[in-house]
């Protein structure tokens, strides 16, 4: 199973972050399946790739350490594909989502830590 993670600290009020992230994931043509105040789960639209390459994206918003100006969030991008190649489908989607978060005009990126 391929799994890639990254943490970010962004400068945006916590109450604005979740709706902005939902919009960002939808703009990336991911189907948002579930969300609440501190968790979002999205996936690729069925039919675009084989089931084993089907990617799910989870976003966790850390409300416990959030301040008025900074919020920490983490993403987990995973699928059932064995990561036999460095540049596999899951890694490509991870990089796509990571870059979208890092370059979003809706907040200022303070820190990005890939895991």
From the list 60, 59, 55, the residue with the least C-alpha distance to 92 is 55
Residues 59-115: tens digit of each pLDDT: 999 999 888 889 999 999 999 988 888 889 999 999 999 999 999 999 999 999 987
Which domain covers residue 35, as residue numbers?
2-114
User: For position 48, what pLDDT does the model report?
Assistant: 80
Q: What is the CATH number of the domain that holds 7?
A: 3.30.310.80
Mean pLDDT of the chain: 93
Q: Tell me if residue 75 falls in helix, strand or coil.
A: strand
How many domains, the chain? 1
d(CA 113, CA 48): 29
User: For position 67, what pLDDT does the model report?
Assistant: 87
CB 98 within 8 A of CB 75: yes
């Amino acid at each position: 199973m391929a799994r890639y993670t990254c943490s970010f600290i962004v400068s945006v009020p916590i109450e604005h972050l979740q709706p902005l992230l939902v919009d960002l994931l939808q703009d990336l043509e991911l189907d948002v399946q579930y969300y609440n105040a501190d968790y979002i789960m999205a996936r690729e639209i069925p039919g675009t790739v084989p089931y084993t390459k089907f990617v799910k994206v989870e976003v966790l918003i850390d409300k416990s350490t959030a301040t008025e100006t900074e919020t920490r969030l983490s993403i987990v991008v995973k699928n059932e594909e064995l990561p036999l190649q460095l540049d596999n489908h899951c890694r490509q989607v991870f990089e796509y989502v990571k870059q979208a978060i890092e370059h979003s005009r809706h907040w200022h990126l303070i820190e990005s830590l890939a895991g």
